[in-house]
Amino acid sequence: MSRQRMSNADAAWFHMDRPTNLMVVNSVMWFAEPIDFDEARAIYRERLVKQFPRFAQRVVEAGMPPRHPRWEDDPGFDLDRHIHHHALPAPGDRRALQERVADLTSTPLDRSKPLWDIYVLDGYGPGTAVLWRTHHCIADGVALGRVLLSLTDERPEVELAPAKSGARRSVFQAVTGPVQAGARLAGAGLHEGLELLAHPGSELGDLAARAATDARVLAKLLSAPPDTKTNLRHRPAPTRRVAWSDPIPLAGIKAIGHATGTTVNDVLLAATAGALRRHLVRNGGVVDAIHAIVPFDLRPSDEPLSRELGNRFGLVSVALPVGASGSAQRLALVHDAMNQIKGSPEGSLSYGMLGAVGMTPSGIEQRLIDLFTSRATAVITNVAGPARPVYFAGSELLGVVPWVPTGGTIGIGLSIFSYNGGLTLGLQADPGLVPDLDVIITDIEREVRALAKLRMPVAATRVRHRAPA
């Protein structure tokens, strides 16, 4: 039986589970036609379980007190305990799917078996929806995005057998190659987190070396005060509500960036700041700024995806200028903040801190996690999907939306997934804190339209702004 010690960073995510904040990455995919369940099951066996050992391994913590967690082959592994086939309740529309997903994502994973589950939900419109739940200790969002892509084909025909010499390469084979994986995921123009921080491998090594001795940045991470209190920050309840947008054309976001001298992520963060400002105005609690934790990938873009997966990403804190009243001013302030972050060792240091947290006794570990998560109000992440349509079990994939887990008192999570020229926004929150997720999504779309009216570059500025009285 295979046993491996869990990495320190993965152990931190494993121990971060709370009844009110499950550390599970959830994603929903929907398809143009019903998918063949038996064919889907065969794909999961061949391309998921056989290719990535973590999906057949459970987490073991033995002893009193429990020792550092280990990965161990599940002696009773049964694929049918992980793949569930259900019908979506009538009328099978988006609201019905959102309600079903919300119920499932509020349920902890069974720790007696490998920490993942898939729900195939027939009757979503004319096709099928699939909910995939994976514990964050198995992998981060970028790795899981690449795994998701490895399950698909470029054509409706499924190729489970290895391609013969000279035959067409499937998407799966491309993803497992060392160079094509990064290029294919970069095709949509986004990576998880901030493209400003997607450093090539050599620069990443230099950045990590600088981070090891940057006491100033480390002091900032350790001494930053809690984020400003609003109705978006509170100890959440176990229940969650989820919502997502229609695809927003990526070309339009890029056009805004070109016209204003900003980046895709500047535009998206500024639009989010504007939408959250509207939410705070409606609830009588506008403040100067709130902070979002934004992950970014630490893997070189040409590095093949490890069979052991795992977490290799850093975290940076970005101020969202919700106190600024104009779209142009918010974009300028976000652009300035992003420029200050560029090249900072903060992300690499945060990765090292997570590893250190994973080695501490559980009581200290929980206090450190609470301290870390108290500095932010939201988590915002971008994950890149393929730039062209792909197929799963013979059916065309129409859309994907993931939801990142939140922790501590962080009240809201926003995920952005790019696929086939569009960006889908996914929100999750405690409905007691944020009952109007659909309104926030509508406001983000409204802010994008407002930013599209700008015709000249915004000047990066550090001008202080005040929240309205």
| CB-based contact 338:196 (threshold 8 Å) | yes
Cβ pair 259, 461 in contact under 8 A: no
* CA distance linking residue 252 with residue 264, whole number of Å: 10
Tokens found for residue 256:
């805004």
Q: CA dihedral defined by 312, 317, 321, 327, rounded to 10 degrees? A: -20
> What average pLDDT does this structure show over 188-205?
37
CATH number (3.40.50.720, 3.30.559.30, 3.30.420.40, 3.10.580.10) of 3-451 reads 3.30.559.30
pLDDT at 447 over 70: yes
Q: What is the pLDDT of residue 359?
A: 47
Instruction: With beta carbons less than 8 A apart as the criterion, state whether 52 and 307 touch.
Output: yes
Q: What are phi and psi of 444, to 5 degrees?
A: -60, -45
Residue 444 CA to residue 421 CA, distance in Å, equals 18
What whole-number percentage of the chain has pLDDT above 90? Answer: 44
Helix (H) or strand (E) holding 252: helix 250-260
Question: d(Cα 439, Cα 106) in Å, to the nearest integer?
Answer: 22
In eight-state DSSP terms, residue 106 is T
What is the pLDDT, as a whole number, of residue 461?
43
Contacts of 279 by beta carbon, 8 Å cutoff, 6+ apart: 232, 434, 436, 439, 440, 443
Tokens of residue 327, six digits: 């779209």
Higher pLDDT: 46 or 181? It is 46
Q: Find the range with the poorest average confidence among 189-203, 235-249, 453-467.
A: 189-203
Q: Is the pLDDT of residue 448 over 50?
A: yes
**In whole angstroms, what is the distance from residue 142 CA to residue 106 CA?**
23
pLDDT tens for 40-63 read 999 999 999 999 999 999 999 876
pLDDT at 449 over 60: yes
Q: Supply 264's token pair.
A: 């895709």
Q: Are strands 378-384 and 313-320 parallel, antiparallel or unpaired?
A: unpaired
Beta strands 422-429 and 248-249 are antiparallel
Q: Kindly tell me if the per-residue pLDDT of 460 is higher than 80.
A: no
Angle at 83 between CA 78 and CA 84, to 5 degrees: 125
Give the number of other CB atoms < 10 A from CB of residue 81.
14
Distance CA(20)–CA(320), nearest Å, equals: 25
CA 205, chain centre distance (Å): 24
Q: What is the pTM of this model?
A: 0.82
- Judging by DSSP bridges, how do beta strands 395-403 and 412-419 pair with one another? unpaired
Distance CA 193, CA 301 (A): 14
Convert the pLDDT of each residue in 274-308 to its tens digit: 999 999 999 877 889 998 888 777 777 677 888 88
Q: What is the pLDDT of residues 91-138, one digit of tens each?
A: 999 999 999 999 999 889 999 999 999 999 999 999 999 999 999 999
Q: Which amino acid is at 77?
A: F
pLDDT at 211 exceeding the cut of 50:
no
More confident residue, 140 or 409: 140
Q: Which residue has the tokens 């019905």?
A: 96
Asked if the model's pLDDT at residue 352 lies above 70, the reply is no
- Residues 312 and 299: beta-carbon distance below 8 Å: yes
Q: Where are the domains of the chain?
A: 3-451
Q: What pLDDT shows up at residue 1?
A: 66
Q: Locate tokens 């420029």: which residue?
A: 339
- Residue 65: asked if its preceding bond is cis (omega within 30°), the reply is yes
* Interatomic CA distance for residues 359 and 453, integer angstroms: 50
How does pLDDT run across 370-412, given as a tens digit for each residue?
656 667 788 888 888 888 999 999 999 999 999 878 766 777 8
- Average model confidence (pLDDT) across the chain: 79
Position 436 scores a pLDDT of 86
Q: How far apart are CA 266 and CA 196, in angstroms?
A: 10
Q: Residue 240: which pLDDT band, with cuts at 50, 70 and 90?
A: confident
